[in-house]
Amino acid sequence: MKKTIYYILSILILMLVTVSCNDSEMELNKGNTPLALSVSNTEAHLDVASPDKEAVAYNWTSGTNYGTDASISYVFQMDIAGNGFKAGIKEDLGKNIRIRTFTVEELNTLLLETFGKPVGTKVSLEARVIATVHSQTPVMDTTEVVRISVTPYKPLTKTLYLIGDATPNSWDAGKATAMAVNTGEVGGFLWTGKLTQGKFKFITTLGQFAPSYNKGTSDTKLYFRESFDDPYDEQFEITEGGTYRVLLNVLNLTISIQKLSSSLYTQLWMLGDATPGGWDNNAEAAMSVDPLDPFVFHYNGTLKVGDFKIATETGTFDCKFYRPTISNAPVTETDVELSTSPDNKWRVTEAGDYKIRLDIGNLKIQIKLFVPYTQLWMIGDATPNGWNDAAPNPMTKDATNPYIFTYEGALNVGEFKIPTAVGTNWSCDYFMPAVAGEGVESTHMTFVEKGGPDRKWKITIAGNYKVVINQFYETISITKQ
């Protein structure tokens, strides 16, 4: 029996020694391959139409740690040829990365902004990798220099704004109307909203009338006006006011201006384990249509920790959804796409009451955890204190529900709105009616950020009133006592 136990122990010890030796050999045997850098192509072609395409890739061997068990880390350097790596970029890539790729847009931006090279001029770049063996006495090794040539292009604008007397903010360049980037289309922008009779064009930068994109040879063509030195300043013309969708592409200089009779959808639903109905597609949470804009949908309600997307139909998963353009999107992600796949969703990481505003015309969304105001007021010539911005009439917060505020007292014939701050010289956010001039029949109010449209409720009969609002659900009740 003792011999058997001794034999088994001997076998186990031998196995442990063998494993230990093999592990040591794996750690010690890093090989003797010299550190070397290679590049995918020495002439990198940059195409403005393919910003996300790989322009160039650098790869390097692991190098040797000279028989030690020490790790090796790598630093990648790139600079203008002949500059001796005195400037340029220097990136510490750590111990496991042995490749550095550049997309077309990334390399082009590097040439223009970091190296300050002019558009259309061929540039020679040098790169090298420095390896450090982290042994007791660190040892460094450097690859041979690898050289490529590349020519930068003029990048496309990433921002675009409508400006003109047909647009919401007329010819004020500082408040021009922003367009949304048309995700997935290089150079594409879109906007949906109300245009009036008049003219308009597009500017690339707030506050600056040039560069601009103007009307080209037809209503479907754009013309790029780079500076005021160019006398060509034709504009697009709207002859009939209404809701329009504007789609354009600054790469191929095309534009489509379409008058819309109605929104693509009249109802949408929230679906996901973050919503009250979970993944039950027969219990989806309905979104409400904005009373002023049929392309805007709202959801004011509770969300749990989890995911959600926005359905265009109920009772089925086989429909199009409004989704984020990336997977596991945080609630701060504002870009939206309408698609059947991939199955991207927004991820809620903090449970609470949220206000969501989805603009399907411009494919944008705002998802905000709601923090209630602790004090609200009524201001206007309908109220006892009139238009006194420093001392409007306070509303009383409900003792059990922080969202509800009430005013009980006299109201004159006149108008009022609900400010969220006092003494700001009118520079604050407001709760206002959806339509200017609404009276006691009003049941809905809208939140308007400072600088937005100015709408007010109207009292036509003086008397004592009870006004009750819910700032979360944005409801209002105006009752004559």
Tens-digit pLDDT profile for residues 26-52: 334 456 789 999 999 999 999 999 998
Is residue 65 predicted with pLDDT exceeding 80?
A: yes
φ/ψ (deg, to 5) at 23: -60, -40
Q: For residue 30, what pLDDT is reported?
A: 54
The pLDDT of residue 262 is 73
Q: Contact 94/130 with Cβ under 8 angstroms?
A: no
Give the range among 102-106, 211-215, 445-449 with minimum mean pLDDT.
445-449
Q: Which domains does the chain have, with CATH numbers?
A: 37-150 (2.60.40), 161-260 (2.60.40.3620), 269-369 (2.60.40.3620), 377-480 (2.60.40.3620)
State the pLDDT at residue 334. Answer: 94
The average pLDDT across 324-347 equals 95
Average pLDDT of the chain, as a whole number? 91
pLDDT for res 364: 92
